[in-house]
Chains A and B, each alone.
Chain A
Amino acid sequence: MATLETAYAAVMINSLVSLLDAGKLQFWTAVGGTGTKLAECTFGSVGTTGSPAFTVATTGVATATTITDEDAALDTGTAAYCMLTLSNGTTNVLDLTVASSGSPDITISNTSIATSDIVSVTSLILTLPEGP
């Protein structure tokens, strides 16, 4: 099996996360942007917040910069997935699992979101494993 060297893992993850500048983190009741959209937070971008969505990675690990909160949740329901999209809010890049326990991609304080709740993404790290 081919081995992905660290420097090129960085190239790949930087290329991927650059797509997410001004992108959205949408919380849905079902996978792939189906079900009900409960909330939408926004990644940083040079044009709006002064920072790109992620800091430049030197390994396969990329850390999100400040993500703008959803000030008032759009609907009421149980969050199960988070869809990361381009800035258009419709083109899906990554689907992440959401749960309040276990080992989800995103750990949420409460999966029950109600209209007008504030949704704050306090951290997000994407990792492209290096090596074989």
Chain B
Amino acid sequence: MNIPTIQEQLQGAVAKIVKMEAKGTVVITSPTQQK
């Protein structure tokens, strides 16, 4: 059984950070109406 080295695990973790996903929503409203 191959156990990943610390360096390999860190590399994997960094790769995951690079692939981090974000999802958000924003609403813009003018002073008089929703745009």
Query: How many A-B pairs with Cβ below 8 Å?
Result: 106
Cα–Cα distance between A117 and B23 once the two chains are bound (Å): 22
Tier of interface size on chain A: 35 or more
Contacts of B35 in A (CB 8 A): 109-110, 112, 117
Which A residues, 1 to 25, have Cβ-Cβ distances below 8 Å to chain B?
1-4, 8-9, 12, 16
Tier of interface size on chain B: 20 to 34
* A interface majority secondary structure: strand
Contact with A along B1-21 (1 / 0, CB 8 A): 000100011011101110111
Which residues of A line the B interface, CB within 8 A? Answer: 1-4, 8-9, 12, 16, 27, 60, 64, 82, 94, 96, 98, 105-110, 112-114, 116-130, 132
